[in-house]
Amino acid sequence: MNDTNQNYKIVWLSANKLGYELLQESLSIGVTIDSIVTLDEDAKTVMYDGVSLDKWQEIGKKYGIRTYAVTNINNDFDKISSINPDVVIMCGWRQMLDKKILEWPKDGVVGFHPTLLPKGRGPAPIINSILDENFNSTGLTMFYAEDGVDSGDIIGQQAFTIDRKKDYAQDVYNKVIDAGRILIRNYLPAVIKKAAPRIKQDDSQATYFPKLSLKNNQIDPSKESLEHAALKVRALSKPYAGAYVIGSDGQEIKIWNVESLYQYYQEKNEETA
């Protein structure tokens, strides 16, 4: 962008690395951000890929962006309600937005979801995409958020592939960041000019990911094939909590790579031989 959007207020809503990287991309192309809203240090929302409050404050100070910290955006709305934004860019935010937040900006809330919507709506998209071998070809969707599960109008999409022979969660995450940079460059200027595409999603083609819990991270060699266990290791590796087995002492043993998993399965097979 040659001209900055001095009279167009953008609120950047994020608490993770994806949002931090895409904020920097936005600034690099000359976009002016009015305010950053991120998580306070005592927020209970778990962000495995989180960026600390002081880093958000640091980039805010560098670029003259006001930074607000909330524990829950819906409960702490009074802290930010006076901003009066034109648009909210939500990128890396795990708290569901109440209707009052969705209706807060004049031009809506723009979100990002790491699948090619309407495929793969719902929670833990990177983890679930690796676990589901039908997601060899996936991508990142930039869309207008609404009161539904990732069902708003699509602005743009950037596809990439998951290499099932070598990609771990961090590899896929890096591809999401690269895709996000492209979407920011291609579509954020159009959002500011109120000229961004609005493509309705075909709900008949929608698929939904299951909600996962930390119990899903356990690998049970007596019940799971080596191939399925390897998927879990790749999907749950850093930046996430990691897959684990239960040792002979009853303690969790984290397994971060498939080589360690193969060794563990081999040892278990030898014990039962």
Locate the domains of the chain by residue range.
10-205, 214-272
Q: How large is the average pLDDT for residues 219-238?
A: 95
**Residue 1: its pLDDT value, please?**
47
Residue 167 contacts residue 237 (beta carbons within 8 Å): no
Residue 75 contacts residue 98 (beta carbons within 8 Å): no
Cβ-count burial 242-257 (b if 16+ within 10 Å, e if not)? bbbbeeeeeeeeebbe
Instruction: Give the containing element (helix H, strand E) for 10.
Output: strand 10-13
**Residue 4: its pLDDT value, please?**
63
Amino acid identity of 221? P
Q: What is the pLDDT of residues 76-127, one digit of tens each?
A: 999 999 999 999 999 999 999 999 999 999 999 999 999 999 999 999 999 9
Closest CA to 118 of 19, 214, 204, 231: 204
Tokens of 32: 């002016």
- The Cα–Cα gap between 260 and 6 comes to 53
Q: Give CATH for domain 10-205.
A: 3.40.50.170
> Quick one: angle between helices 53-63 and 17-28, nearest 10?
10
- The Cα–Cα gap between 135 and 117 comes to 12
Structure-token match 């897959």, residue found: 243
Is the pLDDT confidence value at 273 over 80?
no
